[in-house]
């Protein structure tokens, strides 16, 4: 199963969030944040059923004028 992760840099941490389900993790590097997110997803789906068909999210950039 493939998920989409959005990663942001917040202070000293990289925060990785999946866009298809509400699972988030963090790490001190992007690779660590993604590894921790993978582990969090595996733990999440121990108690949840894997979705049969996940549509990929639509990702768009929005610009506001100052």
Residue 47 pLDDT > 90? no
Task: Give the C-alpha separation, 42 to 63, whole Å.
Answer: 35
State how far the alpha carbon of 51 is from the alpha carbons of 7, 32, 39, 66, in Å: 23, 25, 17, 41
Mean pLDDT over the full length of the chain? 93
For each of the domains in the chain, give its residue range(s) and CATH number, in order of start: 1-66 (3.30.160.250)
In the prediction, which pLDDT does 50 show? 83
pLDDT at 66 over 90: no
pLDDT of residue 54: 84
User: Is the model's pLDDT at 16 over the cut of 90?
Assistant: yes
């Amino acid at each position: 199963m493939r998920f989409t992760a959005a990663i942001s840099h917040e202070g000293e941490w990289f925060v990785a969030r999946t866009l298809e389900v509400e699972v988030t993790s963090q790490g001190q590097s992007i690779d660590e944040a993604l590894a921790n997110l993978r582990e969090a997803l595996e733990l999440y789906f121990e108690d949840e059923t894997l979705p049969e068909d996940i549509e990929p999210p639509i990702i768009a950039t929005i610009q506001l004028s100052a």
